[in-house]
A and B are shown apart, each in its own frame.
Chain A
Amino acid sequence: MKTDIILAGVGGQGILSIAASLGAAALNEDFYLKQAETHGMSQRGGAVVSHLRISDKPIHSDLIPQGKADLILSVEPMESLRYLAYLSPEGSLVTNTSEYKNISNYPDLEDTFSELEKKINIVRIDADKMAREIGNPKASNMVMLGAASPFISIDEEIIIKGIETIFQTKGEKIVQLNIEAFKAGRAFAHNK
């Protein structure tokens, strides 16, 4: 078992909660894990990326080699395209469609995505909207994790346990809202 994931987003969007949930899940399963994060300067609204590697064998590099990622999981559409060189030929790309426009020259990406969809398995989901509908706008990242979960070789229940571990301190209500968000995202990807 091995899943190499590129997590992408913009500084401040909190992609690390996704990584933390998967990390907790991996640890519960006694899997090996390495997860390289972006801290520092780029966190001020810049592009951020995290390499997350989970395996049942020891992992060497903290960074995923190019062409080896099984999944690109992005909480922002343009950022999902920045690391395409890492995606393996069989890999999937799961992205939020909600744009984060903190730059003046944000490009129109519709054509790019339609082109790529012919070659790559792409799931596009408006996670922000879905999270609002559930009544927890902050849970958009968990919607994303749910939408990406079919492409991650860890069982659903184990990821959910990971989410429980991470949000435990915030109370049962928050835990449930986040699990609900996860399930909604997962259902969306399955029905696609």
Chain B
Amino acid sequence: MQRNLFLGVEAIGQASIDAGISGVYAYPGTPSTEITEYIQHSKTASERKIHREWSANEKTALEAALGMSYAGKRSMACMKHVGLNVAADVFMNAAITGVNGGLVVTVADDPSQHSSQNEQDSRYYGKFAMIPVFEPSNQQEAYDMMYEAFEFSEKTGLPVMMRITTRLAHSRAGVVQKTTKDENQLRLPENLMQFMLLPAYGRKYYQNLLDKQDWLTELSEKSSFNAFYEGEEKSLGIVCCGIAFNYLMENYPEDDCPYPVVKIAQYPAPKEMLIRLENECDELLVIEEGYPLVEELLTDFFGKGTKVSGRLDGSLPRRGELNPDHVAKALGKEITPDWNSPDTLVGRPPSLCAGCGHQDTYKALNEVVKDAGEGRVFSDIGCYTLGALPPYSTINTCVDMGASITMAKGAADAGLSPVFAVIGDSTFTHSGITGLLDCVVEKTNINIIIVDNETVAMTGGQDSSAKGRIEKICEGVGVAPEHIRLFVPLKKNHDEIVKLMREEVAWEGVSVIIGRRECVQRLAKMKKLNKSKK
């Protein structure tokens, strides 16, 4: 059988196309970005005119995906874990409305925070919303699950969450593909009030969701993705979730794990399987990538029942990504490596590229900030966040997308003056505009610096919804045109940039200072692309 080498994210992208989606809606975010990029580059997707443009943020993405589902077609929304916080409102409510066409919300978590502010576990959101969650253990399963997920969504009438983590997302393996299904026809919901959550309707639909819960557990029980593996040695029973199953099996290369094992890849957790495991075994070990969700579920509060170990009792690390060595240790099979890295080794943190315009902005801003003293530069998420590190050490905060403007506003309200907000172009259109409106309404004394590199650079140079629109947006929101200033972040303009910034600091009110120069990586990428097109 023909196998293709697919990253986990690519397997998901291909499977969604093969399952007949009519649209993917997403905002970039590591490690989810390449799902959408895969679909953007797919020939089938282009022939079928599958929707595959980037959305302004995760909330607009999921809402549009829900709208496509309303119209009877299959759709997918993709985001990184913190993106689901942004889309949480529609996510929770979509569980109440349910779906018409199949809807899958693919969320990529980032344990160990390789590229993220935190390592929150999206399975909690799935449980919170009371919808089915799929968590594949390998690339083939990711493909197979995604292929089935849309049908499952239509069968249960609910959105399905596909939860993956960085390791699966960015690891390649051979994957066998299935045939490509037709897209759904346009078809309005049978009940035209299905998506109407006025309380009178909402209550009824919420009850429907509650009534489905036992059935969902039953479906998990029968799911081919969940499994009970027999074992002779009953002193321990092991529960593995998603990719953790591989780390267990790695420790038994001859497929000779002596303990009974429950593999969970579909939630709600398969209750009967777990009851059987508990009945058969003296103790349980839960191995899961992320927070201890299943472990908490099985650990008994009063400590009178079966002993459950895992991340909570220290058998496995409380935080961070798992690996086969962690699992070996939990099984008492630890090995000590023969070599260790020499002490002479030093770290190599990420840094801004040579020639990056963010550097020129920070050099100028540092001079201006010195006038009033440090500790007043609120910033945001993107390549420019690296300005927190030496040699710049310019910015003081990075919390969630858009928070630079709003936190600076709050600090200004508290009496800090002057304040600065440094925000990227894509972050600005993702979540900065509403904060700017707050500032305009209250005439806040704030200096907002939009570092416009005309792309979403941090995640690999995607198109930015902000491109060519920033000045008009700011004017439209109500910033005085004479306080919307533009500079080109280049070394030779240093003095001019400092002067311009000082002028705006002197003015008490909302200033928007835009530093515009294309990201050098994006420039190179587009050149390469154009060359290969020729």
Q: How far is the CB of A85 from the nearest CB of chain B, in Å?
A: 4
Q: Would you give the 0/1 interface string for A105-116, flagging 1 where the beta carbon is closer than 8 Å to chain B? A: 111110010011
CB pair B249–A42 under 8 Å, yes or no, is: no
Cβ < 8 Å to A, chain B residues 154-193: 167-168, 170-174
CB pair A32–B335 under 8 Å, yes or no, is: no
Identify the stretch in B11-19, B349-357, B439-447, B476-484 within 8 Å (CB) of chain A at 4 or more residues. B349-357
A168 contacts chain B at the CB level, 8 A cutoff:
no
Residue of A nearest to B348 (CB): A47
Residues of B near any A CB (own CB < 8 A): 3, 5, 7, 30-31, 34, 114-115, 167-168, 170-174, 243, 246-247, 249-250, 253, 323-325, 328, 335-342, 344-353, 383, 386, 458-460, 532
CB pair A44–B250 under 8 Å, yes or no, is: no
With A34-B172, A35-B172, A63-B167 as known contacts, state yes or no: A41 contacts B350, CB within 8 Å.
Answer: yes
CB pair A87–B339 under 8 Å, yes or no, is: yes
A interface residues, tally (CB under 8 Å)? 57
CB pair B341–A27 under 8 Å, yes or no, is: no
A39 contacts chain B at the CB level, 8 A cutoff:
yes
Contact partners of B338 in chain A: CB under 8 A: 67, 87-89
Cα A62 to Cα B244 with chains together (Å): 10
Q: Would you give the 0/1 interface string for A82-119, flagging 1 where the beta carbon is closer than 8 Å to chain B? A: 11111111000000000000110111110010011001
Contact partners of B172 in chain A: CB under 8 A: 19, 23, 33-37
Cβ < 8 Å to B, chain A residues 162-188: 169
CB pair A103–B348 under 8 Å, yes or no, is: yes
Cβ < 8 Å to B, chain A residues 4-51: 10-12, 19, 23-24, 27, 32-47, 51
Contact partners of A87 in chain B: CB under 8 A: 337-339
Among A33, A38, A79, A112, point to the contact of B114 (Cβ < 8 A): A38
If over half of B's interface residues share one DSSP class (helix, strand or loop), that class is named, otherwise mixed; here it is loop
A61 contacts chain B at the CB level, 8 A cutoff:
yes
Contact partners of B246 in chain A: CB under 8 A: 60-62
Q: A37-B172, A40-B115, A85-B340 are in contact. List 19 more A-B contacts (CB 8 A).
A: A11-B350, A12-B353, A37-B7, A39-B170, A40-B459, A44-B351, A46-B351, A51-B171, A60-B253, A61-B250, A61-B323, A63-B324, A65-B324, A65-B328, A66-B337, A67-B336, A87-B338, A109-B344, A112-B344
Contact partners of B5 in chain A: CB under 8 A: 23-24, 27, 33, 35
Contact partners of B337 in chain A: CB under 8 A: 66-67, 84-87
Q: How far is the CB of A81 from the nearest CB of chain B, in Å?
A: 6
CB pair B170–A36 under 8 Å, yes or no, is: yes
Contact partners of B249 in chain A: CB under 8 A: 60-61
CB pair A42–B335 under 8 Å, yes or no, is: no
A78 contacts chain B at the CB level, 8 A cutoff:
yes
Cα A60 to Cα B170 with chains together (Å): 15
A123 contacts chain B at the CB level, 8 A cutoff:
no
CB<8 Å pairs between A and B, sample of 14: A24-B5, A34-B171, A38-B114, A39-B170, A40-B30, A41-B30, A51-B171, A61-B323, A84-B339, A84-B340, A84-B342, A107-B344, A115-B342, A116-B339
Q: How far is the CB of B340 from the nearest CB of chain A, in Å?
A: 6
CB pair A44–B352 under 8 Å, yes or no, is: yes
Contact partners of A103 in chain B: CB under 8 A: 346-348
Residue of A nearest to B9 (CB): A39
CB pair A65–B325 under 8 Å, yes or no, is: yes
Cα A87 to Cα B353 with chains together (Å): 31
Contact partners of B532 in chain A: CB under 8 A: 169
Residue of B nearest to A83 (CB): B341
Residue of A nearest to B345 (CB): A81
A120 contacts chain B at the CB level, 8 A cutoff:
yes
Nearest 3 interchain pairs by C-beta? A40-B115, A40-B30, A46-B350
Q: How far is the CB of A16 from the nearest CB of chain B, in Å?
A: 10
Among A43, A65, A81, A120, point to the contact of B350 (Cβ < 8 A): A43
